[in-house]
A and B are shown apart, each in its own frame.
Chain A
């Protein structure tokens, strides 16, 4: 059969399936989350002062060893890749788990890996410390991150809306063209009442905070945000699947007019469309994870596609979850709102879909008007 001439970069599609190791990893993480993060406890946590669930974090990051997955063994990690890390993200997304995995084990870890830093990296990989990149959570890969200046060994300035800022032991701060590590205790941090209280934001101010330079130039930050955006797509995938599963289960058991409401085409067809979008989300999220794991040159395109696609799918899934649960779905006592808030926040996090489409337009030579 004739096939068009192929382009080795853009046409290459790696393994988009899950391997046995990944299946096992998923099962372990799901078991821990089932035990320690049922939605009732996630919901209760949103009304407590603690910025995250420290016991759950210890179980996932240290006991299961998930925090060190993408870190090479000689740097204290598990020597796996971003593909396995993506599976953890899917599972955490399914639970809207209140742990700083994306911020510390993905974004900060990626920044330190790119910077060639070793000491802090080892502590993050072991789950002994939490570090977060001090940028607004809405920052897209490649965005300018102004606001903080480095002078005389200290940082001065402010950054708003830093995800998991209060969970952090160390803040990684882009400033004056480099990246600096600051002891979180040396920054002034203010908790933000957040749309998504399962991943809370913090406003951060530095007034002469002692800082240690860990990277020159913007590359480490850019790489970290790109990998973060790739992994976020897997979180969105997991969240969307959870919403679909819960909704399908509900419409099979909820009777109105003498029939399960899931027997009406008005709902069946929307759920079928949602399922089809989620199968697409899985393909694009796996592709993005596969590209960043391999350091593939096509990663920026794959990540922009994944974010542009998966943001909308997760949000749609959460919105349909609320709507198809009817009255109960609008209440505080049902988990749908946890997913709605996480999905909406995720759709803004690390760049909106629109921002990623704009990036994509430049990457694939489709310039704006």
Chain B
């Protein structure tokens, strides 16, 4: 084994070797995915033994394309966005060796779906104000509280959870981050119906839930720093994914435009072309961001990509309804359902329009993202913080 990280040619060689030895047409999909992980071709930038080969992150896309072209089974990222986009990088950054070995493999293969227990009814944009209490009891912790806006909790095996462990210090300092077993006694998941009619999200009630101290990520009191890593990755996951031209909503509307000459008007054409340019600009920006990310963790730049994505998705999904005219007045189904995947472009145009409204709220509202950019990138003065030096327990709520 050479000490230099593998380059593109070496990865290409290894992928070819792997595919020669593992025929995706024959092998059970799960066995294939597990073997791909073990061969270090899952997340090539991860260390060896943890799904990777220590290669530059930028080389991932070529490996993914190679596997897709060979008909390799998918690990269904649309079912496990939280796991792949947020839990995995956080576990990689803060987990112990044992935690990484235990959780990353079944996460990547899609055996374990993950969810995120962050937001609370009283802690949305102000996440650090959260009130879910974790109290230490020997080798474990007892957790009580309520989380909300929890995507896919009804499918999840594990959750990343941030809690209040010290109410006597200012809010950012008294938090601790855990991995929570969603099958543990005291975890209750209730559907939370959204304006789309379905319940992609949930409320999660935690009542005397026991979490082993071995499931803590990072130090006691370090929960804010760990959460920040998760959130930075969330914004990259939402805004910076690899994409070919005309993927996502713009592809849906462009196809409609080509298929239905009867719907075309000059005004809508202008709107379509403006949106097309914006979508292409966002795609290239995502590509550039990924080129920058090849070494190291994402910085606040990801916030810009997420901001642009939300605006664009909302604009284009709105344009689609206008373009459809009378058909834009229809809706597919208001029945309360619990979907098993998150895909903003699925279902009907009406659903897509309504679902896009969440894009500027989930994963940090657009307003909070603008604050982050203004303060951390541009160095503008911070918001006036009346709660900065006040112990959490004394905050008005």
Contacts and interface: CB of A to CB of B under 8 A. Distances in A.
A328 interface: no
A268 B380 contact: yes
A17 interface: yes
B381 A262 contact: yes
Given A13-B284, A283-B284, A269 B367 contact: yes
B245 A10 contact: yes
10 contacts: A2-B76, A11-B245, A16-B288, A16-B291, A251-B380, A263-B381, A272-B371, A305-B281, A361-B269, A366-B254
A6 B244 contact: yes
B301 A369 contact: no
Contacts of B67: 1-2
Interface stretch (B12-20, B271-279, B355-363): B271-279
Contact of B276 (A273, A282, A366, A369): A366
Contacts of A305: 277, 280-281, 284
Interface stretch (B1-9, B169-177, B260-268, B314-322): B260-268
Interface string A107-139: 000000000000000000000000000000000
A360 to B, nearest CB: 6
Given A2-B76, A265-B370, 9 more contacts: A1-B67, A248-B378, A268-B378, A268-B380, A272-B307, A279-B304, A280-B308, A284-B285, A366-B273
Which of B247, B285, B379 has the most CB atoms of chain A within a 10 A radius of its CB? Answer: B285
A10 to B, nearest CB: 4
Nearest to A307: B277
A7 B247 CA distance: 12
Given A360-B273, A366-B258, A284 B280 contact: yes
Contact of B292 (A17, A271, A367, A369): A17
Interface in B240-266: 242, 244-247, 254, 257-258, 261, 264-266
Nearest to B301: A279
Highest count of chain B CB atoms <10 Å: which of A6, A276, A305, A361: A276
Interface size class of A (residues with CB under 8 A): 35 or more
A286 B292 CA distance: 14
Interface in A311-369: 354, 357-358, 360-361, 364-369
A259 B382 CA distance: 11
A164 B367 CA distance: 44
Interface residues of B, number: 62
B379 A369 contact: no
B25 interface: no
Contacts of B65: 3, 6
B270 interface: yes
Interface string B302-333: 00100110000000000000000000000000
A272 B379 CA distance: 11
A10 B244 contact: yes
Contacts of B284: 13, 16, 280, 283-284, 287, 305
B74 interface: yes
B113 interface: no
A188 interface: no
B77 interface: yes
B333 to A, nearest CB: 27
A178 to B, nearest CB: 33
B287 A272 contact: no
Interface in A250-273: 251-252, 259-260, 262-263, 265, 267-269, 271-273
* Closest A-B pairs by Cβ, 3 of them: A2-B74, A268-B374, A263-B381
B270 A357 contact: yes
A308 interface: yes
B4 to A, nearest CB: 21
Nearest to A356: B277
Given A3-B68, A262-B381, A280-B282, A366 B374 contact: no
A2 B76 CA distance: 8
Nearest to B375: A268
Interface in A226-247: 244
A366 B272 contact: yes
A357 B273 contact: yes
